[in-house]
Amino acid sequence: MTKSELIDILAADQDHLPYKDVEEAVRKILERMSTALATGERIEIRGFGSFSLHYRPPRIGRNPKTGESVALAAKYVPHFKPGKELRDRVNQAFQHSQWPDQVSSSEDDDAPNVPMSALG
């Protein structure tokens, strides 16, 4: 689901709200979450999950094209940990065969489809 699709779904569910208001609310929520993470805050949404930053120490990587060693700087990366309710809901959906045989990333992503058996 993309941000645009989320806005469309929410606007359809909340037909008493103007589309622009729904669009602005989603934009502000995502902007505030991004700002919180950028300043080192942890975000917890009970039943859904938590967002935090994980530290990645500096390391030596390789340029895949040339094989040359490259020094990679330390960095912080966003991390999402799903909550129990979200994990249970996803697993229940898989158990009741509500999902196709393959789960894929977004359509414009180059990531390969993942067989359900690989998801544990």
Looking at residue 10, its pLDDT comes to 97
Domains 1-40 and 42-82 share a fold: yes
CATH level 3 topology of 1-40: HU Protein; Chain A (4.10.520)
Looking at residue 101, its pLDDT comes to 58
Q: What is the pTM of this model?
A: 0.70
Nearest to 42 by CA among 82, 86, 79: 79
Looking at residue 105, its pLDDT comes to 54
Reduce the DSSP state of residue 30 to 3 states and report it: helix
Looking at residue 56, its pLDDT comes to 97
Phi and psi dihedrals of 30, rounded to 5?
-65, -40
Which CATH number among 1.10.3720.10, 3.30.70.260, 3.40.30.10, 4.10.520.10 corresponds to the domain 42-82?
Answer: 4.10.520.10
Looking at residue 46, its pLDDT comes to 96
Alpha-carbon gap, residue 71 to 37, rounded angstroms: 26
Looking at residue 47, its pLDDT comes to 93
Looking at residue 95, its pLDDT comes to 82
Alpha-carbon gap, residue 31 to 27, rounded angstroms: 6
Alpha-carbon gap, residue 20 to 11, rounded angstroms: 9
DSSP summary character for residue 34:
H
Chunk the chain into consecutive blocks of 10 residues (it has 120) and report each block's average pLDDT, rounded to whole numbers: 97 96 98 97 97 98 96 97 95 74 53 46
Q: Which one-letter amino acid corresponds to residue 22?
A: V
Tokens of 13: 């569910």
Alpha-carbon gap, residue 102 to 114, rounded angstroms: 6
The domain segmentation of the chain, as residue ranges, is: 1-40, 42-82, 83-120
